[in-house]
Structure 1
Amino acid sequence: MATPEAFDAIKEALDFSWSETEITYENDGFEPPDTQEPFVYVEVVGDVIEQDTFGDPGANEWVEEGAVYLHVMVPNGTGSRDARGIAKRLTDLFREIPIGTMHFERMSIGSGDPGRNFPNFWAMTASIGWYRRDITGT
């Protein structure tokens, strides 16, 4: 999983900028709406945390890399067009806009996955690769 700093930065950006659909995060107790309205399930994962040393002991830069998975959930049987549009608008929120020490790159809608069925919903996943640099070593 990603560090709390990475998760918090992404959550704050989405909470501030996104109002089109409900958003839920990993293990937050969200119940899918009875009305079959689209919503977004967000996962923030970390791939690696690496150290770069700059000479003096303690003068280190830590680089954390990961991905945000934005699972756009739409009612089963309604096609993929709405999910693709929502996914595009979500990725646009992070395009060329760093958040603090986080930078976003490698965006994809679908990433080769055809979408998946869940009870009453179908998911189209947008993914965004990110990295974060931290001179303080956390």
Structure 2
Amino acid sequence: MATDIAFDLLRAFVAAQWPDQAETCPISWDNEPFTPPPPYDDQDRPQHWLKVLVDGRLWDQQSIGTGDPRAERWVETGELLVLAMVPVGTGSRLCRQVLRAFAEMCRGDTGSIEFGDVTFPAIGSTDDAGNWWSMQVIIEWKRG
């Protein structure tokens, strides 16, 4: 579990960096009300959306022991699990495009969060209702 501080920083970062895409690719966050778009728009074009989950690990010591834990440098680390959802039967290209765009947005140090390695397990899955197919990226982050 990520702390509320890390979650809020990550969410604010995404909100600031994803506003142009938010209308065409909305984001679902942990345990918040969300209604996915219909699988196809009124012109029969496939719709898509993202599901973002925030994982965290407390605490990783980043300094040499001084004898006083309060004087040490501790960082919180974790991962963003980002799932791109597209209608079943529409292929993986749209998933790959939106996941690449999201991953490219999460590069380097933002001042509050430092992003690290990105893993793209090329495994797809279908939701329980059978309407949506997804692929994912896993993006490492660190808050110091």
Relative to the length of structure 2, the TM-score reads 0.82
> 1:28 aligns to what SS in structure 2?
coil
The CA RMSD over aligned residues, in Å, is 1.7
Q: Report whether the alignment pairs 1:88 with 2:100.
A: yes
Unaligned runs of 5+ in 1: 134-138
Q: Which amino acid aligns with 1:124?
A: M
Taking the aligned partners of 1:116 and 1:89, their CA distance within structure 2 comes to: 20
Stretches of structure 2 lacking an aligned partner (at least 5 in a row): 41-46
- Please report how far the alpha carbon of residue 53 of structure 1 lies from its aligned counterpart in structure 2 after TM superposition: 5.8
1:9–1:99 contact (8 Å) kept in structure 2: no
Structure 2: how far apart are the matches of 1:72 and 1:79?
Answer: 12
Larger strand proportion of the pair: 1
Residues matched between the structures, number: 130
Q: Structure 1 segments of 4 or more deviating over 6 A?
A: none
TM-score (norm 1): 0.85
Q: Percent identity?
A: 31
- Equivalent positions of 1:1-138 (< 5 A) are 1-18=1-18, 19-20=20-21, 21-36=25-40, 37-51=47-61, 52=63, 55=66, 57=68, 58-96=70-108, 98-109=109-120, 111=121, 113-118=122-127, 119=129, 120-133=131-144
Distance 2:58 2:117 in 1: 16
**More helix per residue:** 2
